[in-house]
Amino acid sequence: MTDTQEPLSIIVAGASGDLAVKKIFPALFALYCQGRFPEKFHIAGFARTDMSSATFREHLAGPNLVCRYGPCDHCSGKQEAFLKHISYVSSPYDSPEGMRKVNLALLGEGGMDGQENRIYYLSVPPFLFLQVTQTLAAAGFLARGGSGWDRVVVEKPFGNDRASSDELTQGLGQFFEEDQTYRIDHYLGKEVIQNLMVLRFANLIFDPIWDRAYIDHVDISWMEDLGLEGRAGYFDRYGIIRDVMQNHLLQMVALIAMEQPVSMDSKYVRDEKVKVLRSIPPLALDDIVVGQYTAGEMKGKRYPGYLEEHGVPEGSIADTYAAAVLHVRNRRWDGVPFRLRAGKGLNARMTEIRIHFRSVPGNIFDGAAAMQPNELTIRVQPDAAIAFRIMNKVPGLQIDLGESFLDLNYASAFNAKIPDAYECLLLDVIEGDRALFIRSDELEAAWDIFTPVLHELERQRIKPEPYVFGSSGPEKAKQLAARYGASWSAQ
């Protein structure tokens, strides 16, 4: 682990963008409020938008920069103190001259000496990763010598198939070693997702039943009740499979299906994830259904269809919904379908994992209709919870069976603030812990599962199934689920 008291500079490319303003700076502020920064630190944001440091600080100080920790009466003081550590430079991404101004801000306003540790956060679209890095290098950023370390943080999507992802990895690899590269999948920073390994490996009871002998199927659902929210330019290029399934959902599969790592060291954790991902054959066209939402009404409000959304090209066949079944071909999981579904424009915002256990053999109770198999629900959001369905005797003079839940609701069980995923991940970057970041071989394995089917969907120009905004998704997704034994878990 890194000594977190050494002076630190954080250079944020794309600092005026949505992600930086709504997620990165608020997370940095939350870390600041919790005393997680060294005494000497500076954050230099840069982007193409022309504005002064003072205007940028005002822009940041809006409703996003709230003090989630510490007593509220100190909020504005803390905010003011934090903003003093921030400067902004406007510069085209291909201008070494502009980047030198960033360096001057670090040396001047930031009071750094060029020997400090540095984090480069590339909060720009992936097609700009290499350009920004090359410009940083041309401006003398990446060959400083001296004792300070350099780390780079990049956001998904890392390419749009295996080949483009490899290209990106090689391109960045010319400037940063793999162990300096932090590829963010922000779901890995979510509290409940981080708990998956603890749940599995810090409890004795799960491991003996965590396999094909006891588990019938695993469902992972990711649903949003929103449309594009102004992101057509990005979304239409990628679609839901690349936007969330190949990364957020697949990471959940890996954490559910992996073997216990040797230790929590990032190398061993990621080794196990790669191993299990390598046991998943490429997704078959037969095992996927894609959909696209049409106009609909929800809670009295009309929502436009995908093709009517501002910025979506006419006749686009981008998928806003996908249901897919993955097979993990190893001794633990062979024959257990991992059923994934992800969609925008649905009837709820919800992410959860459901482990469906097999039925009890040789049922000795009458009234077997009431008999339900055990089910473990791990709800990531909106209300973080873990619930286990068990069968019980309903109190009374006769033996009647009924289902009930052992229910751990985070809000009532823990008297603690749940940190935002970015808070946790950024702290890990500062501390040099890479366990929650995607290693290049993990990325390769993830793309190998999805690239063939993505190419096939594109080659055949397969039209997504329409579904109404605010519904539970396309009919065909239900047929896919039925083919694998059971309807989708109810929400």
CB closer to ligand BG6 out of 142 and 244: 244
Q: What share of the chain is helix, strand, coil (3-state, %, to 5)?
A: 40, 25, 40
Instruction: Report the nearest approach of ligand BG6 to the CB of residue 74 (Å).
Output: 28
Least CB distance to ligand BG6 at residue 23 (A): 9
In the complex, minimum distance from the CB of residue 244 to ligand BG6, in angstroms, rounded to a whole number: 6
Nearer to ligand BG6, 56 or 422 (CB): 422
Q: What is the CA radius of gyration of the chain?
A: 24
244 binds ligand BG6 (CB under 6 A): yes
Residue (of 323, 327, 357) closest to 223 by Cα position:
323
Tokens of 374: 């055990």
The 196-235 contact track toward ligand BG6, x by CB under 6 A, reads ----------------------------x-----------
CB-nearest residue to ligand BG6: 243
Between 244 and 454, CB nearer to ligand BG6: 244
* 248: annotated active-site residue: yes
Full DSSP string of 8-50: EEEEEETTTSHHIIIIIHHHHHHHHHTT-S-SSEEEEEEESS-
Asked if residue 45 lies in contact with residue 86, where contact means CB atoms within 8 angstroms, the answer is yes
- How many residues sit in the footprint of ligand BG6 (CB under 6 A)? 3
Rule CB under 6 A: is residue 243 a binding residue for ligand BG6?
A: yes
> Is residue 423 a contact point for ligand BG6 (CB under 6 A)?
no
Interaction residues for ligand BG6, span 7-36 (CB under 6 A): none
Of the candidates 16, 198, 40, the residue with the CA atom closest to the CA atom of residue 107? 40
**Shortest distance, CB of residue 424 to ligand BG6, whole angstroms?**
12
Q: How far apart are CA 154 and CA 185, in angstroms?
A: 9
Nearest approach, Cβ of residue 419 and ligand BG6 (Å): 13
Nearer to ligand BG6, 56 or 467 (CB): 467
Exposed / middle / buried, residue 252 (Cβ in 10 Å: 0-12, 13-18, 19+): buried
- The catalytic residue among 42, 186, 217, 248 is 248
Cβ-based nearer residue to ligand BG6, 131 or 381? 381
Alpha carbon 111 to its chain centroid, in Å, reads 35
Smaller CB separation from ligand BG6, 243 or 352? 243
Min CB(340)–ligand BG6 separation in Å: 15
For residue 243, the minimal CB distance to ligand BG6 (Å) is 5
List the structure tokens of 205: 């009871």
Measured distance CA(67)–CA(19) in Å, rounded = 18
Residues 154/182, Cβ–Cβ less than 8 Å: yes
Please name which of 436, 434, 431, 433 lies closest in space to residue 3, comparing C-alpha atoms: 431
Residue written as token pair 């920073």: 189
Separation of alpha carbons 221 and 246, rounded Å: 13
What is the DSSP-derived secondary structure letter of residue 284?
Answer: P
Measure the CA–CA gap between 444 and 158, rounded to whole angstroms: 10
How far apart (Å, rounded) are the C-alpha atoms in residues 436 and 222? 20
Spatial CA neighbour of 292 closest among 469, 461, 466, 470: 466
- State which residue, 241 or 257, has the beta carbon closest to ligand BG6: 241
Footprint on this chain of ligand BG6 (rule: CB under 6 A): 224, 243-244
Known catalytic residues? Answer: 248
